[in-house]
């Protein structure tokens, strides 16, 4: 391998092929032609002096060497996107781009109204929202600001606790009218329950008075937003944030005095961004809005 640095565009095409599994899919994603993406991959393989893909019935299969490159290429992609956002607005101006990350439920059910109110105050600031239950890495600038439902553990972060959100059992009022209101946890377990499929990462489940695992659930999905949709559709009894349920008149608390567990709400950003006015505006706005939300 010679000492000439390889063009970022080559790695950009490489990542797209990894994600899409084919040259044609990568070309559609990038807005390029398939031959252009193919030339990028050929140039990257020539520069690295190593094969990156083998052809299979399902498309292009990455080699072991290619898989080792993926985290480094993703870091490059995050850095490139962060540079674009930083260049989108001057530090002290109320314009530019802010990239926010949040969990499935927070991002789909809670943030849109908050961001709408922010937009009315600062119409020149563009919002990007990443919906993922994976904690996007703020240190690597995968996002600018995170709304997290757990205390952040990384250093070099500016974090503000916005409150504590309790979760409890709820059901649609039509479901309760048809099947009755449970009076005890044991009663709840006799109803169709909405819950997780393979993902059970909530450590608080171990502290509950009865064991909770996937065998209890009549509706199983690892997407929390889908679970909430099933709850609103009246499938059965499910767990959701109490403050969120209050926004939906059709949802009634089941065992209202019982809290399934509690989540801490935090607004987090990299401390390097605190000198940017648009970042500070969004950070303070989300902190205030989430505080009000947590209070119900």
- pLDDT by position in tens, the chain (length 296): 444 456 778 888 888 888 888 888 888 888 888 889 889 988 888 888 888 888 776 678 889 888 888 888 877 777 776 666 666 555 567 888 999 999 999 999 999 999 999 999 999 999 999 988 776 556 566 789 999 988 887 777 889 999 999 999 999 999 999 999 999 989 999 999 998 887 655 554 555 566 677 888 999 998 999 999 999 999 999 999 999 999 999 999 999 998 888 899 999 998 888 888 899 999 999 999 999 999 87
CATH class name, domain 8-80: mainly alpha
Contacts of 171 (CB under 8 A, 6+ apart): 191, 231, 234, 236, 237, 238, 251, 252, 254
Note whether 73 and 15 are within 8 A (CB): yes
Query: Residue 245 and residue 2: Cα distance in Å, rounded?
Result: 60
pLDDT of res. 60: 84
Please tell me the predicted confidence (pLDDT) of residue 126: 94
Arch. (CATH architecture) of 164-262: 3-Layer(aba) Sandwich (3.40)
Rounded Cα gap, residues 152 and 157, in angstroms: 8
What count of residues does the chain have? 296
Domain ranges across the chain = 8-80, 96-163+264-294, 164-262
Sign of CA dihedral 78, 269, 115, 260: positive
Least Cα distance to 15 among 33, 40, 39 occurs for: 40
Residue 154, CA distances (Å) to 19, 39, 88, 165, 193 in order = 28, 40, 27, 22, 35
* Options 3.40.50.2300, 3.40.50.200, 3.30.465.10, 3.40.190.10; CATH of 96-163+264-294: 3.40.190.10
Separation CA 209–CA 206 (nearest Å): 9
- Is the CB of residue 282 less than 8 Å from the CB of residue 98? yes
Do the two domains 8-80 and 96-163+264-294 of this chain adopt the same fold?
no
């Amino acid at each position: 391998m010679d000492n000439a640095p390889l063009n970022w565009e080559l790695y950009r095409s490489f990542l797209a092929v990894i994600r899409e599994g084919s040259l044609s899919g990568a070309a559609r994603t990038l807005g390029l032609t398939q031959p252009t993406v193919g030339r990028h991959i050929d140039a990257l393989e020539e520069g690295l002096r190593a094969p990156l893909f083998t052809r299979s019935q399902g498309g292009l299969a990455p080699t072991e060497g290619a898989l080792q490159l993926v985290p480094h290429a993703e870091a490059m992609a995050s850095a490139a996107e962060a540079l674009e956002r930083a260049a989108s607005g001057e530090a002290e101006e109320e314009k530019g781009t802010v990239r926010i990350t949040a969990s499935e439920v927070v991002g789909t059910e809670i943030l849109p109204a908050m961001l709408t109110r922010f937009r009315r105050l600062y119409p020149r600031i563009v919002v990007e929202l990443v919906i993922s239950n994976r904690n996007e890495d703020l240190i690597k600038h995968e996002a600018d600001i995170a709304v997290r439902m757990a205390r952040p553990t990384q250093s070099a972060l500016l974090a503000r606790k916005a409150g504590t959100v309790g979760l409890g059992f709820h059901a649609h009022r039509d479901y309760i009218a048809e099947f009755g209101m449970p009076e005890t946890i044991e009663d709840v377990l006799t109803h169709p329950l909405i819950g997780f499929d393979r993902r059970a990462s909530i450590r608080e489940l171990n502290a509950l008075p009865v064991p909770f695992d996937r065998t209890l659930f009549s509706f199983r999905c690892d997407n929390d937003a889908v679970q909430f949709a099933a709850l609103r559709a009246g499938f059965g009894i499910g767990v959701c944030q109490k403050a969120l349920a209050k926004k939906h008149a059709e949802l009634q608390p089941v065992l209202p005095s019982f809290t399934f567990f509690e989540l801490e709400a935090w607004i987090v950003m990299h401390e390097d961004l605190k000198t940017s006015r648009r970042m500070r505006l969004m950070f303070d706005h989300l902190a205030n809005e989430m505080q009000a939300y947590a209070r119900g």
